[in-house]
Amino acid sequence: SENRLRHSRSLTGPEARSIPTPNVDTLYSKAQLELSDGPVVLTVPPVEGRRYYSFQFLDPYTNVVGYVGTRSTGNGAGHHAVVPPGWDRALPAGVEQIDAPYEQLWAIGRTAIGEDDSPEAANGVQDGYRLTGLSEFVESGPAGPAQSDARTPQEHPIPAGLDFFDALGTALAAAPPPAADAPLLDQLRTVGIGPGERPSANASLNSATTAGLNAAVGWTRPWGGRPEVRNGWEFAPVHVGDYGTDYCLRAAVARGGLGANTREESLYVHTNRDHLGAALHGRRDYAIHLKSPPPADAFWSLTAYGPDALLVCNPLRRYALGSQSGLRYADDGSTDLYLSHGENVPHRSNWLPTPAGEFGLVLRLYLPQQTPLDGTWAPPPVAPL
């Protein structure tokens, strides 16, 4: 339901099938915000120590419009009002304002679980998150804690064929596109696509146009274009999370990592190739030699996914390695990460089980330092053993 937080109480596992490339480092909290009746106040508790947390607010086009969290507002307690377009009234003392460009937003919260931590400790932080309508907040303070689980199975199949463009027409009418989209909308209108349009009911479309629209539903390019590649790793483009008119990038991210952060919050780097250019496959064993930990101020992690960008079950139930997972380091501060389908590895603590077939890797740097952002650092290549 709208304006209600839903928390994941445990880390994501292979049973999660709705969101591609889920992280397994943080507990998710999610809410659909509806601001037509006025602002909604997010209350956050004091978050202890070095625990990372964030709330990310996305508009209907998955552009990030604001953050609350470790980087943006600090780990202290606070109240943050998300206000609708045109809001010009004063907020209560001590309530910070986040301006929303639409009356509908998606809020995604992430609460990290540390190396010596437990889900229960992170659940306690989640219990301090509250979402309250402004009028209720003024009258009686923050709402009670959320009760439901964000991973309650929900099926939202993507419409097929022309039904997709019908759904798009409904969505565009509910959230009018920005002015920059006008040239593209003028082109789409010639084939019956746009706010309020229903191409499936448009008898004037010829068979070739209909066939082309049906084929277009499943087409996206990786990252929407030519990626930046360093040491065989593809770096997320600079404007992930603030897409402008890069429609192909937005579509590719929606398909492969819906709800992506901006790069200053977390940097995503991925590969499905070894340093020789061969596809990563479970029949081979690999290693990544890190001379020093990846440069992230919060934490970093490496996760393996199947070809569908989802987690694949393994007997160890280990789906990531990183700064939170108790790695074994050499005296000089270096470490080796071992990637293999079987357990024939020198150090079990540094073993990331991989799927039996082809797979991909995503390296996440939460609160990345400057060097990975400016291009002067890259992960070491994936080396077959």
pLDDT value at residue 202: 85
- What is the pLDDT of the chain when averaged over all its residues? 92
Percent of the chain past pLDDT 90, that is, above it, reads 75
Task: Give the model's pLDDT for residue 170.
Answer: 97
Mean pLDDT confidence for 318-343: 95
- For residue 196, give Cα distances in angstroms to 54, 170, 201: 35, 5, 12
Label each residue of 229-289 as H, E or C: EECCEEECCCCCCCCCCCHHHHHHHHHHHCCCCCCCCEEEEEECECCCCCECECCCCEEEE
**pLDDT classification of 119: cutoffs 50, 70, 90:** confident
| pLDDT average, residue stretch 319-336 | 95
User: Mean of the pLDDT values across residues 309-334?
Assistant: 94
pLDDT at 196: 96
157: number of Cβ within 10 Å = 5
**153 has pLDDT over 70:** no
Categorize the per-residue pLDDT at 115 as very low, low, confident or very high, splitting at 50, 70 and 90: confident
pLDDT at 311: 97
pLDDT band at 156 (very low <50, low <70, confident <90, very high): low
**Phi and psi (nearest 5°) for 148?**
-85, 165
Q: What is the pLDDT of residue 176?
A: 96
Average pLDDT for 45-73:
97
- How many angstroms separate the CA atoms of 89 and 81, rounded? 12
Q: Is the pLDDT of residue 155 over 80?
A: no
Q: Give the Cβ contact number of residue 88 at 10 Å.
A: 5
**pLDDT tens readout for residues 236-287:** 889 999 999 999 889 888 887 889 999 999 999 999 999 999 999 999 999 9
Residue 90 has pLDDT above 80, yes or no: yes
Q: Across-strand partners of 273?
A: 279
pLDDT of residue 215: 78
pTM equals 0.91
Q: Mean pLDDT, to the nearest integer, of 142-159?
A: 69
Give the rounded percent of residues in the chain with a pLDDT score beyond 70: 95
What is the Cα–Cα distance from 270 to 216, expressed in whole angstroms?
25
**Does residue 354 register a pLDDT over 70?**
yes
Amino acid 345: pLDDT = 85
- Residues 40 and 3: beta-carbon distance below 8 Å: yes
Examine the pLDDT at 162 and tell me if it is beyond 80: yes
3-state class of 168 per DSSP? helix
Residue 224 is predicted with a pLDDT of: 57
Domains (range + CATH), the chain: 6-140 (2.60.40.1610), 162-216 (no CATH), 222-384 (2.60.120.600)
Environment class of residue 381 by beta-carbon count within 10 Å: exposed (0-12), middle (13-18) or buried (19+)?
middle
Q: Which two tokens stand for residue 37?
A: 């009746």
pLDDT of residue 157: 75
